[in-house]
Amino acid sequence: MPDPLTPEQRKHCMSRASSGKNTDLELAIFSILRRKRIRFRKHVGTLPGKPDAALERFRIAIFVDGDFWHGYRFPEWEGALPDFWKTKISKNRARDKKNFAALRRLGWQVVRIWGHQIKNAPDKVTRRIDAAVNAAKSCAAPRRTRA
């Protein structure tokens, strides 16, 4: 099924869409981090991909990805989509892969959390974040104290 809008109309519509910042899913992650008293910054523009939450002390970048927009198990259902959406989601996935690789090269650990995981098993998401922080703590060099 072709897109009923012209490319100019589609571009106009997409430009009017909200940025997707501070979504309910992101707010749930921010709440988990605050409860655990983990300091973080939101949407850090100086890092590749603008992580939804950046735990700078631990060099952990957290991305909260919507199942549709970022293509959770995309190969299983992409055939049911019009070409416009196949292209859009494929580009999103390629951009995510590029950004995750760039962050890893910079020494950051990437934690990707899917929307359905937050909705269905928030306790598992909390454990994943805890595991990432604990791993970062154990890898960190001990701090020197002055004598």
Q: Give the confidence band of 11 by pLDDT, cuts at 50, 70, 90.
A: confident
Gyration radius of the chain's alpha carbons: 18
Half-sphere exposure of 58 (CA within 13 A, CB side): 23
Q: What is the pLDDT of residues 75-110, one digit of tens each?
A: 999 999 999 999 999 999 999 999 999 999 999 999
Residues in the chain: 147
Residue 12 is given by DSSP the state H
Q: Give the confidence band of 143 by pLDDT, cuts at 50, 70, 90.
A: low
Q: Read off the pTM.
A: 0.83
* Token reading at 91: 């580009």
* Token reading at 50: 């603008």
Residue with tokens 């928030």: 122
What confidence score (pLDDT) does residue 8 get? 86
Q: Which CATH number fits domain 19-134: 2.40.10.10, 2.10.240.10, 3.40.960.10, 1.10.150.120?
A: 3.40.960.10
Handedness of CA 41, 44, 48, 52 (dihedral sign): positive
What confidence score (pLDDT) does residue 98 get? 98
